Amino acid sequence: MAIIKVGPKHQVTIPKDAFRQLRLEAGDILEAHVEGKKLVLVPKELTEKAPAVKLRLDEQRSLSSARKKILKIRDDLLHSKGLTLKEAKVAAKVGLINSDQIYWWLEEWQKRERQAEAEERAGKSVGPFASADELLPSLEEGARRMRRKSA
């Protein structure tokens, strides 16, 4: 049994034997909890280790472009541009976006998102509504306006 000294910044050194037996590496994550009067450290993996996805050169270029666009969309929706289908597919392939939500990241959808955001900022949106009963008259009024515009 090894004796461990607590350092001035609450640091401890894991004994070599324990370090080897647990197959720890520098940078590994340990969960700490107290059981009675014992401090228990349990090695944890935050994510499963998976092999990197192999990308062709054209996919690598598309991924680079997709990353920039995704960051821009998240940072400044009004002044961003959506992804192309090719960019969205490769971003989903590597897990950058959810494959079930590719449509949301496409330029066609982002154009409508920018329009909705602009309307919201201009005070042209309605709501929030406390109930469906409160919402329905607003929807009916919007439908009447649309019919008048198209007539």
How far, in Å, CA of 39 to CA of 19, rounded? 16
Instruction: State yes or no: pLDDT of 32 exceeds 70.
Output: yes
Instruction: State yes or no: pLDDT of 5 exceeds 70.
Output: yes
Q: Where are the domains of the chain?
A: 1-46, 57-124
Please write the tens of the pLDDT for every residue from 110-149.
999 999 999 988 988 888 889 999 999 989 988 898 898 8
Which CATH number among 1.10.357.140, 3.40.50.720, 2.30.110.10, 2.10.260.10 corresponds to the domain 1-46? Answer: 2.10.260.10
Predicted TM-score (pTM) of the model is 0.55
Q: Are 109 and 83 in contact (CB under 8 A)?
A: no
pLDDT for 47: 63
Read off the amino acid at residue 90.
V
The mean per-residue pLDDT over the stretch 103-111 comes to: 96
Instruction: State yes or no: pLDDT of 48 exceeds 70.
Output: no
Tallying the residues shown for the chain, one arrives at 151
DSSP string, 81-131: -PBPHHHHHHHHHTTSS-GGGHHHHBHHHHHHHHHHHHHHHTT------SS
Q: Are 102 and 88 in contact (CB under 8 A)?
A: yes
